[in-house]
Each structure stands twice: as structure tokens, then as C-alpha cells.
Structure 1
Amino acid sequence: MKRHCAHTYTDNGFERHPQPANLSLGVKERESIWAFPSSRCAGFCDDTIAACFCPSNTTYGRIPAPPHARLDAPPERRGRPMGYLCQPDKMPDGQHTNWGTVDPEELWGPAGWCMAEQPKLECHCMLDGFGGPVCETPYEPFCLNQCSGRGECNLGFCKCHEGWHGIDCAQPSQAVDTSVPGLEAARPWIRDFVHTPAAREFPAGATRKRPLIYVYELPSEYTTLMLQYRLFAEYCTPRIFNPDNTSYFTTFTYGAETGFLEALLQSEHRTLDPEEADFFYVPVFTACFMSPVRDVADSLFDFWYNVAFNRAQGAANMLLEAYHWIRGHLPYWDRRGGRDHIWLVTHDEASCYVPAAIRPSIILSHWGRTDLNHTSDTGYPADNYLWEAEHPQFEPRGWRRKVEGFPCFNRTKDLVIPSFKPPEHWRASPLLGALTRERSWLGFHRGRVQPENKAFSRGIRQRLEQLAVDQGWKEKHRIVVGERDKVEGPYSELLASSVFCLVIMGDGWTARMEDAMLHGCIPVVIMDDVEVAFETVLDLSDVMLRVPQSDLEQLPAILSGVPEERREEMRARLARVWHRYSYSSYPPYAKQLRELQEGHAAARDAPPLSQPATVPGLDPRQDDAFETVMAWLYSRIDATR
């Protein structure tokens, strides 16, 4: 499938690529609804990754591989990426663009980004694998399982070596010699990120770790192409490399989409044989698609967005396309009506717009909304999943019929899982061995409030902040609610210094439950008809409080009314389940967790902890979020048959 950017620079100037003609909205109308400046390229557009580079006829332009070269051949010259932040504000004829902000002289002039060794303009090296002041330093980009050491990583897409295939190059052909070391032997920096137990040969009768899960090998349009198209290197990934090939975890909000998948690919629960699988995992990167990725004038993307140019509808269409691909190519969906299939949807209200066609499956999400007649609570029109759309070809019966009639979350067959919180996010937690702090704040919540966006958070955050200001909650009750500029200080330290931590929705799901649990702070859930992570599989009644949305004014009285003895009991019970909100069985996560523990132990001049548990016998590496999901799935095997 040919992909391209909306504009490309040629020797004769800008060339307008044709737009699809089968949409009811024209280009101008669509741009006015949802503008993607990232789709504009005034240089050389690499069709493979839809990324913009300096033109080939400039000193530091990208020169592609010759036409006769192999399909996976690298470019003759990498070139400097331009990105959407370094696009000209004028056309060659002097006409102003509505998608660029840079004077062309700063790009093409003698001291320009594309011409000078040390240009005056500094363009952001947005692409993964491009580092240094002028993006001149190549480094290891992120790929799932780092291609198992059996392939080269190209911005998230694995180009497998001969004899290997799959989303992470884990599946060998019969002729390949699996005893030959992979790339991790020559690249020690990827060694900690290559774990493929499923590729081992198991002797007959070997005990396997059930449930066994087969990960579908879908076309890259649904998975790794989204990684190649991501706007910034840190988008869509749980971790990334630095220019010196050291690694760190990202803070991408929807990081569980690829983090959970990589944990599954690296786990003993994975099987490469679909015939022995208990479940089938369908990897579709809808949250990455909505982040957004770099937009392209491509008929597939336009179909996903459909006629309304709505991100939620685009993501749902993406899920439907994957569903039809599976049914059209493999027999496993029809064998049990999809009941043994697993889909992970991590965007704000994603579980609400899962199409009816795949509702029989197990839906993993962060959003446990249970009311049947639900409407979108988003403050952003482009994410309103019930925005109706009709089209004689694409939607002759309208859009809403695809998603209406089901609760967002079915507590019998679905599961709300924790979001991905890297160890660094909770470095000040006493549960990691950090120094115990006085819990001086009675109640705490720091996060976006958006007073001008009335739909955001159902108005809960806005109302609480106003109450806190009007009634002096900070001074009278030691309760703080607000954004960063009003609640200053290191976030992890504030959480570790609070008795109660408020769990309030944002533009859909909230990660505040995980923040509270990982810091030993008692969660206070203020979301009607919404279940938090693992509430259906763990008894959290003695761990958290629930406050109805109608009782916001009584919050100080409710919190101060909990006696200290009761608080101690709740914290003691919390100490038995907090580890289920981390991903400590995921090998890269476990490594950083250990490093933080050792750092805390050294600061206290104490021996390293064997584990960060506060209750003897707990092993977070065996009872973490991932293994909790696996245990729940194991209990569901019979129900899917």
C-alpha cells in the first residue's frame, strides 16, 4: 500500500498529492474540524514511515536507496528530519501556508537546517533513533522484544532476519538454526530487552504455564505501522533508548497498549502454536492511532476516520477491520464465537466504543463504566464516540448502531486493568523502600482541572477545586485539589505524604487509583457507576472509600470522620494488594524496580530489600498486575468454551 504525506517538496516546488474523493467532507472542511500539521512535508517524505526529511537536493537531505535496491535497503543518506515543527510558513511563490511556522531561509538558506553543518535553527529530533544537536547520532529505536534479537528495528517495525518472522521475529522456520546467537550477543544494550521463552523447544509432556495465549500476527497497519507513524519517539511505547543506548521508561499515558503486549510476548504464557492456545490476543494499536500518529493522505486511514473525522470512530473502525481480517483468514474466531479472544483498549473512553461485533470477546481496558444507557463524557468533540455519521457507502445505516446497546464494561467477562506506571513514577513510595514520610495531607489530588471545559471529568474536578478555594480546604482541613501551579512539589513525594488520595475521572479513565495504591495512600473513589482496576477480582472494600458525586461538599467531613484506627486497618490491607498495581514481572520493569530499591537501601545505609513488600511472603514479581490478569484468565477458561 502506497503511503505519502500531504505535501512534498520537489525541485520545482511543492507538489500537492491527490486526496481521496470518496468522502462527504472536502479537504478544507476536514482540516477545519481536525487539523494535523504533522501531515505536511516541505521536504522528502519517506513513504515507509510517513516522516519528513530535508529534501534530497540539500546538503543534509535524505537520499533514498536506489530504485533497484532491496525493499528493506537503508537510505544512501539518512538526512535530517524536519518534523512538523520545522515546516516553512511560505510556499516557493511567497504564498503563506497554514501549516508551517518557520521562515524558509531558516531551512534552505546558507545557515539553514538543511544546509549548514551547525544551523542557527534547532529542529526537534522527534524520530526514534535520531539523536544529537542536529539529529546526527543514530541509536537503537524501540521495537517489541527488540525483535527477539532476530531482526533489525526500524522505528517500531521488525525487519526479521531470514528464517524468522512475526511481530517480534520470535517465530522460526523449520530450517533455521535456533542455536545461533541473536543480535543481543553483539549489542549488549538490547540484552535486557530480549526475552522469548515461547521460542524454546519444549520436550514432550513438559509442564506449561497456563493460560497459554497466542498473539495474532496481524498486518502491520493495525500494529507496528502505528509505531512507525508516531509523532514523537516517546509516544506509544513503554520504554525507549537514549542516544547512548541506555534505556528509560516513557510516561506515555496509554503505555499499557504496547507495555502489556511486550510483557505477554516475553512471558511463559505465550505460545507460538495457536492449536494449543487457551486464548487469542488481538494486538491493535488504537490508542497510538489516536495520539495522534502522523496523518497521511491514505485511503485506509480515511476509511478508519470515516465521514465524521472522529478519532473514536476511527479507532472503532480499526478494531472492526482487524475483526474482519481475523475471520477472513483464520478459523479460531468462529470456533467459539470470539469468546476466547482478548482485546486491549486503553484510550480515554475506549471500552465504550468497542464495536458490537467483538463484544463477545474479553475486553481489557482502564475504563470500568457500568451504566447501560451511557453517553460520551469527553470534552473533545473529536473523541465523542456517539457523534452520529451517515454516508451512502460507508455508513448507510449510521454509525451509532455499531456501538450502542452495551455497557462499556461487562463485569462478568471484561476486566479493568491498571495503567502502566513506571517505577520512577513512584520512586518516593515507602513500598519501594523510600524513607517513610509523615502523611501530613488529609486529602490530595493534583491533575488537570480545565475549568473552561465543562464536560471534562463530568465537572467533578472543577467543582472540587472551586469548593477547596471557596471554603479554604487547604488551610482548614489539609485537603488540596488543583493543577500543578497550585499544588507544587514532586508528585511522588506528595502522594507518599497523603492519607487519602482522590480517584477522579478525567476525560474518561483515571490513573489515580494506581497512584494511590503504589504509594500506600488510601484511595477515595469519586466516580458514580465506574469500577476501578481489579475491583471485580480483588476485595477492595476495606482498602478504599467511595464518595458519591452528589456528596462533594461533604468531602472534608467524610475524610476527617474516618478514625485513625480505621485508617491503619485500611493501610494494612492495602499492603497486601498494592503490588498488583505494578508490572514487576515484566523484565525491564523488574530491573528498574531493583535499581530503585538498592538506591533507597544505600541512602539508608541498610541492606538491600529482597522484595519491596510490606507483608512477609508477598512476591511482587509473581503477583503483579500482569500475573493477576493471567490468573483471572485462567479462571475464565471454562466459561469461554
Structure 2
Amino acid sequence: MAARHMLGALSARRAVGTVDLDLAALSERCRQLAYPGIESCVSENNRCLNGCSGRGQCVAGFCHCKPGFFGTDCALSMGPDGKPALLADRGYVPRTRGPRVYMYELPPSMNTWRNELRLDRPTTRYFVERLVATGARVGDGDSADWYLIPITLRRSSDAWNMEKAVQYVRDTYPWWNRTQGHRHFVIATGDMGRIESERGRLSENVTFVTHWGLHADKPFSGWRASHRNATDIVLPVFLGPSKLSRMGIFTSRNHPKFATKAKPALRERNGPTFFFAGRICGDHSRPRTDGNWPHCQTQRSMGYSDGTRQLVHFHHWNRTGYFVAVGDSEYGKHLLTSKYCFGPTGGGHGQRQVGDPGGVAAVVSGVARSWGSVEDMQAALAGCVPVVISDNVLEAFEPFIDWNSFGVRLAEADIPRLHTVLDSIGPQEYARKVERLRCAAQHMAFSSITGAYMGEDGRYDAYETTLEILRAKAAHPDVPPEALRKVDPQLDAFLDCRDYTDSNPGSDSDSDSDSDSSMDSTSEDSAPDSASSAGSSAAEEVSTAEAAAAAAAGEHDASSNGADGDDAASTSAWRQHQQRQQQLQSESGDDDSNGNNGQLSQTVAQRLCSVSPFDVNDPHTPTCRQLSPRKGGPLYGGLMCIRQPTDLVACPRPWK
């Protein structure tokens, strides 16, 4: 077994060792990897996974490991039992909660020889780094619940990589054949999800984590079914801090301080009843307003958005209280003050992206900007109740999460009576949806990477939600997804953003924080009173958020990591717990103030830093700017690891 594992980790690295390529060969290699030239190809900006774990040298994105260590990130070594050990010299211990995820070692041509500088969707890379930071990764595949094939699946042309990787794993390791590909997963960030990169029977049992939940053909738009409900998981789209800030989400209505810290003009929900600002026609023409159909100027791209945007505009553009338009100069304001926001159907990644970034700057300066569409996930993050019109398309984490409990799911055939449906929702039902939205938004956010911005602590973010679903699926392999919550009380509690101990008082808490909720209201005496005290200006928060995005991506040194502080709501329960832990720490003589004690940092609850302007000047809430390391160097594992930016073993864990 040990020999097989070493073969899998080292087989393709012989070609890299000490062989020097001549200029022509190097130029050709760089061209194949889509670099514009040799200089960018060998640039130090080509970051290595996990910084080679401090056990090797990063050479143009490839880890050249020190003797005795191996693996894509040099994290592996051979233990005394002859089995691979993960960061054994750092005291790494997998978390008890699970799941236990084994990451295959692949030839660098399959996963590390990539143009990192052109990576526009970094979800897979962040996920891999979080596996170590959260304690979910294991070094021995025999002990794993799941097996990750860490390849880039960004577009349909990457399908060949999927085929080669599966063949390599099947021929080199024992676990694929033992499971017939079950309990194996990949992350595919392409617009059309699984269908872009699956390889027939070769990958039929693999779980695809994608952004596209279409499970039945849509002939009008020409889309083919892609999602397999029995195996696959729909993941929210990762939005970086700079984009979140420009959209105004750093001042989310979900933040416990919103009622007292937001600008007075934004505090009341007195905007449109129904809001949508974005492209209507696939041909980019202006939609007609004369009541005639077809609604667009030409017949090009008739299947755009499967016709939902066109129909919503056709029936409701001139309705009192409804804002349905191609653009909006007050997009950020309306996102926060509207009752309902429209999330139209569309390709997985693009469906949830904003076409024209503007955000907070547009709200602050009043400069007119033409925005892209208001999307379901973004509405949830901002605190606007999402209206989802997307037949046969599962939204993020459905069916595990019921979007109708915090939003409104409307059949496409009911678009003409949209106003009737919304009018039928009474004040109490609407209030319940808003309350549930605060939890649901946490599952849509990648807080452990971006920092907190709505009072969350990161325990229920999108990464942890994916891991929790994987854990439950492994524990109940024969239970269909729609029934999984009923048989797994831990999953049920997690998806409600409550500790499992709330339902099982006799069991020990599984969290590194003892607060009952990750979004408790902050005591007003601990926070500044005036909205102006939240920072010098929203524009400053925009620039610092962009620096935070660069920090998370390792693109700038720490001096520019900036204050992308979104909230990590300080609660009295958390403060009491932290004080108790600090007292115990002082009594034991341990000091983790510099992040040097990795074992301690995994057991002492530590706050996720905030990127919200609402938390600036709050002495009880650390902002990410305050915690930015002074020494230069990239940040791995997201902003949850900002206290230990290059040592993921020392990174605070959301769960034990």
C-alpha cells in the first residue's frame, strides 16, 4: 500500500526534479499552459497550494518538496506504520465531526500545471486549502469517507482532464475500484455543470459539486439536463470581497447592527415591492413597452434566461410598486430596501453573477450605473427575500435547504399572476421568511474566505455546508437527498444554524464556540451608535475589500491586505466564553497570541474577522484590517486563517 501511495504522489514528478528545459522547450510549455510569455509563466505570483506547507520551495506554481516530504503541497510524509501521514510534525489531527476527505495526488500536468494568473473561478483551490484548515483532510485513504479528485473543471474542454484523472486514480490507487467511483467527488465551476465534463460510464457514480442544478431538459432554451439529484450537490457561486462590497452586501440587512448602523435612508424596507435590474433581452436590445409580443427587437437569443426575464418584464414592468428595468442608478439602495428580489433562471455561474459591478459607490456618490441582474443568492446575502422563477432547476443546496421557506418559488407558468402570489403573503409569513433568511444567507456565503459581513462566525458558511452534506450522505448512503434531514438530526440542526446539542442536550457540543446561534444580536452598549462611526466612508471599505480579496488570493503582501471587515457579530455569550478560555490559557501558561500554538488554536474559540463597516470601532469585534499580518506573504485558507496566514494547522477551526 505504501509503495502504491508513493507511486501516486511521485510518478509524474521525476520529469520536474533537476531537469532544465532549454528556452524553446520552456516557451512551448508556457504556451501550452496559456501563459502569454515566459516571464509570467515563471513568475513568483504563481502561487503554490498551501504555500508548500513550509516544507518545500514554490517554483512557478510547483512545490519542490524537501527530502522526506511529498505531495502536491508537500504535506505528506511516511508515518512509522508505513502509511502516509498528513503534517505529522505539526501535530495535525483530523476533526472528529467529519467528514474525512482524502485528496488524491495526481501528476502535475493534471492539476498544478495551470495558469494561476488567469484563474477566474478559484472555488476549487479555496476548497482544497480549507480541507486542511478545517481538519477535514486525511492522509490515509483507508480512513476516508470521501475522495476528492482535485482537478480544474472550468469549461467543456476540461473533460479530457476528467477522463485522464479518473483513469489515473483507478489504475494507481485502490479506493476507486473498491467503491466503483462512489464517494468520489469533483468540483466543476463551469456554467452548465456536470454535463460539461462528465465522461459517461467512467464518471457515472462520481458526485459533481457544481453551480447548475438543472435536472430536466429545457427545449426552449436548448439546455440539457445536467444535475443528478441522487449524487450531485449545487454549490453557491463564490463572490470575492471586492464584488460583495461594490454590491453593497457588506452593509447587509442580515447584519444584527443594520437597524442602528445603516444609513437612515436604508433602514426601512420602503423601496420597491418587487425589484429586478438587469438585461431583459438576449440580443441586448431594449424590451418593448407597447404590450406586443415578441417582447424584444429581434428573435436572436430567444432562449435567453429561458424567457423568464422577458415574461416578467412584459407582465409587470409598469405595475405600481414594481421595479423591472434594464438598469438602475440606485441598485445598491434598492437591493437593501425592496421586499422581494427576482432571481431569474440562467447558466449556473452566470445565473448568480452581476453583469456590471458598481455597488456601494453608486449608492454613495449617486453616479448612475447600469447594473446586471439581481440574482437569488445575492438577494439572500443582502437580506431581500428572493423570488425564484426557474422550473426544474435546483438552487444552491436544494433539496437539503427549502428555498420556499425563506423565499418564494414561482412556476414559470404563473409569471402573469406574480403580483397576486406576492400580495397573498401576509405580514406574519413575510416576517418568518425574513427571519429564516438570516440563516439561509450564511449557507450561501463563503465567510471563511471573505471574512464575515452579517454577524456570522463562519460555522455555517458554504464550505462547511458542503462538508456537512457530504458527511450526512456518507452516513446514510441509501437515503435520497430529500429525506436526508429527517434521518440525520445533526444535518437538520446544522441547516437551521443551531448547535446539534440544542436538540440533544445530553451530548457534548461539537463546536469550538459555545454560542447557541452564529447570528445573535449584538448588545448595543458594545458598538458605536452613529452610522458615521462605522468608517470614514463606504468608498474606503470598497478599496480595503479589494485588498482583502487580494490577500485571500495571495496576490499582495500583508501590508496591503486591508480592512475587508464584514461582521463577526460580537455576542455576550461569545465574549464570556472567550474570557473563560483566555483565563484557562493564562493559567496553563500557554500563549497563542501570535498563532504559534496550533493545538491551542483548534480548541479555543476565535472570532472570524469582520469586513463590515458596521463593526469598525467596535472594541469587541475584530476587523480583518486590524488582524492583517505585518510581515509580507500570501494568506492561505481564507480570512479565517488571518491570524496564522501561512500555517493552516494553526488556523482556527469552526468545528472540532
TM-score normalised by the chain length of structure 1 = 0.56
Identity across the alignment (%): 24
| Partner residue, 1:499 | 339
SS in 1 for 2:429: helix
Aligned to 2:193: 350
Distance across 2 between alignment mates of 1:430 and 1:141: 37
Could you say which residue in structure 2 is the equivalent of 1:541? 404
Q: Deviations over 1:265-305 (max 9, x none)?
A: 43201011112111100112021xx3xxxxxxxxxxxxxxx
Which residue in the other structure is 1:168 paired with? 73
The residue number in structure 2 matching 1:451 is: 282
* Cα deviations by residue, 1:515-568 (Å, 9 ceiling, x for unpaired): 122111111111001111112112333211111122323333433443333221
- Alignment partners' CA distance in 2, 1:479 and 1:418: 26
Paired position in structure 2 for 1:403 = none
| Residue number among 211, 215, 230 corresponding to 1:370 in the alignment | 215
1:538 counterpart SS class: coil
1:198 and 1:259 map into 2 onto residues whose CA distance is 22
Alignment partner of 1:633 is 2:470: yes
Alignment-derived partner of residue 522 in structure 2: none
CA contact (8 A) 2:102 2:139 kept: yes
Q: Which residue of 1 aligns with 2:138?
A: 271
Contact 2:35 2:115 in 1 (8 A): no
Question: Does residue 336 of the first structure (1) align with residue 173 of the second (2)?
Answer: no
Of 429, 433, 443 in structure 2, the residue corresponding to residue 580 of structure 1 is 443
Query: Residues 304 and 346 of structure 2 are in contact (CA less than 8 Å); yes or no, is this contact kept in structure 1?
Result: yes
Secondary structure of the residue aligned to 2:430 is helix
- Higher normalized strand content (fraction of residues): 1
User: In structure 2, do the counterparts of structure 1 residues 140 and 207 end up closer, same or farther at CA, with 3 Å as the change threshold?
Assistant: closer
Match of 2:107 among 212, 219, 233: 219
Post-superposition Cα deviations, 1:291-331, rounded to whole Å, max 9, x if no partner, equal: xxxxxxxxxxxxxxxxxxxxx2x233321221111111111
Instruction: Give 3-state SS (helix, strand or coil) of 2:324's partner.
Output: strand
Residue 560 to residue 154, structure 1, CA distance change in 2 (3 Å) = farther
Q: Which amino acid aligns with 2:329?
A: E
**Structure ranking higher in helix proportion:** 2
Structure 1 residues 207 and 282: alpha-carbon distance in aligned structure 2, compared to 1, 3 A threshold: closer
Change (3 A) 1:352 1:376: farther
Would the aligned equivalents of 1:579 and 1:620 in 2 still touch at CA under 8 Å? no
For 1:180-329, list aligned pairs within 5 A: 200-201=90-91, 208-228=96-116, 233=117, 235-236=118-119, 252=120, 254-287=121-154, 290=155, 312=156, 314-329=157-172
Structure 2 match to 1:530:
393
Match of 1:416 among 234, 243, 265: 234
- Contact 1:327 1:333 (C-alpha < 8 Å) held by counterparts: yes
The one-letter amino acid paired with 2:192 is E
Amino acid at match of 1:624: D
Residues 477 and 556 of structure 1 are in contact (CA less than 8 Å); yes or no, is this contact kept in structure 2? no
- Contact 1:516 / 1:522 at 8 angstroms: preserved in 2? yes
Q: Render the CA deviation track for 1:179-206: whole Å, top value 9, x for unaligned.
A: xxxxxxxxxxxxxxxxx87774468xx8
- The structure-2 alpha-carbon separation of the partners of 1:50 and 1:522, relative to structure 1 and needing over 3 Å to count, comes to closer
**3-state SS of 2:307 partner:** helix
- The 3 A distance-change label for structure 1 pair 637 and 162 is same
The answer (yes or no) to whether the contact 2:95–2:136 under 8 Å persists in 1 is no
Residue deviations 1:63-106, cap 9 Å, x none?
xxxxxxxxxxxxxxx5xx6xxxxxxxxxxxxxxxxxxxxxxxxx
Q: Equivalents in 2 of 1:128, 1:494: separation in Å?
A: 46
Deviations 1:6-49 (A, max 9, x none): xxxx9xxxx9x9xxxxxxxxxxxxxxxxxxxxxxx9x9984685
Q: CA RMSD in A?
A: 3.5
The alignment covers a number of residue pairs equal to 399
Residue 512 (structure 2) aligns with: none
Contact 1:580-1:620 within 8 A present in 2 as well: no
Which of 425, 439, 464 matches 2:312?
464
The correspondence for 2:50, drawn from 138, 145, 148, is: 145
Matches within 5 A, 1:378-457: 408-424=226-242, 425=244, 426-432=249-255, 433-434=257-258, 435-436=261-262, 437=266, 438-439=268-269, 440-452=271-283, 453-457=301-305
* Contact 2:235 2:466 (8 Å CA) reproduced: yes
Q: Distance in 2 between matches of 1:496 and 1:562?
A: 20
- Structure 2: which 5+ residue stretches go unaligned? 1-11, 17-22, 81-85, 284-300, 353-374, 479-656
> 1:521–1:128: structure 2 CA closer, same or farther, 3 Å change rule?
farther
Q: Whole-Å Cα distance in 2 between the matches of residues 454 and 276 of structure 1?
A: 51
Change (3 A) 1:276 1:551: same
CA distance in 2, matches of 1:521, 1:270: 36
Q: Distance in 1 between matches of 2:179 and 2:50?
A: 30
Does the C-alpha gap of structure 1 residues 515 and 47 become closer, same or farther in structure 2, counting only changes over 3 Å? closer
Conserved 8 A contact 2:442-2:460? yes
Distance change (3 Å), C-alpha of 1:576 and 1:328: same
Superposed CA deviations along residues 361-409 of structure 1, whole A, max 9, x for unmatched, are 22211111122x566946xxxxx8x7xxxxxxxxxxxxxxxxxxxx522
Instruction: Measure how far apart 1:349 and its partner are.
Output: 0.8
Deviation of 1:344 (Å): 1.4
CA–CA separation in structure 2 for the residues paired with 1:264 and 1:446 = 37
CA 1:570/1:46 → structure 2, altered by over 3 Å: closer, same or farther? Answer: closer
Change (3 A) 1:198 1:360: farther
Could you say what secondary structure the match of 2:406 adopts? coil
SS at match of 2:274: strand
Find the partner of 2:384 among 521, 530, 536. 521
Whether the aligned pair in 2 keeps the contact of 1:146 and 1:168 (CA below 8 Å) is yes
C-alpha distance in structure 2 between counterparts of 1:347 and 1:376, whole Å: 21
- How far apart, in 1, do the equivalents of 2:281 and 2:112 lie? 33
Q: TM-score, normalised by structure 2?
A: 0.54
Contact 1:340 1:640 in 2 (8 A): no
Amino acid at match of 1:143: C
CA contact (8 A) 2:77 2:87 kept: no
**8 A contact 2:272–2:339 mirrored in 1:** yes
Maintained 8 Å contact 1:351/1:365: yes
Distance in 2 separating the partners of 1:281 and 1:556? 45
Describe how 1:150-161 pairs up with structure 2 within 5 A: 150-154=55-59, 156-161=61-66
- 5 Å-filtered alignment, 1:53-68, equals 53=37
Secondary structure of 1:627's aligned partner = helix
Distance 2:169 2:220 in 1: 29
Gap regions ≥5 residues in structure 1 = 4-9, 18-40, 54-61, 63-77, 82-126, 130-138, 176-195, 237-251, 291-311, 379-383, 387-406, 598-611, 614-618
> Which amino acid is the alignment partner of residue 273 of structure 1?
D
Does the residue aligned with 1:158 lie in a helix, a strand or coil? strand
Q: Which moved more, 1:428-437 or 1:335-344?
A: 428-437
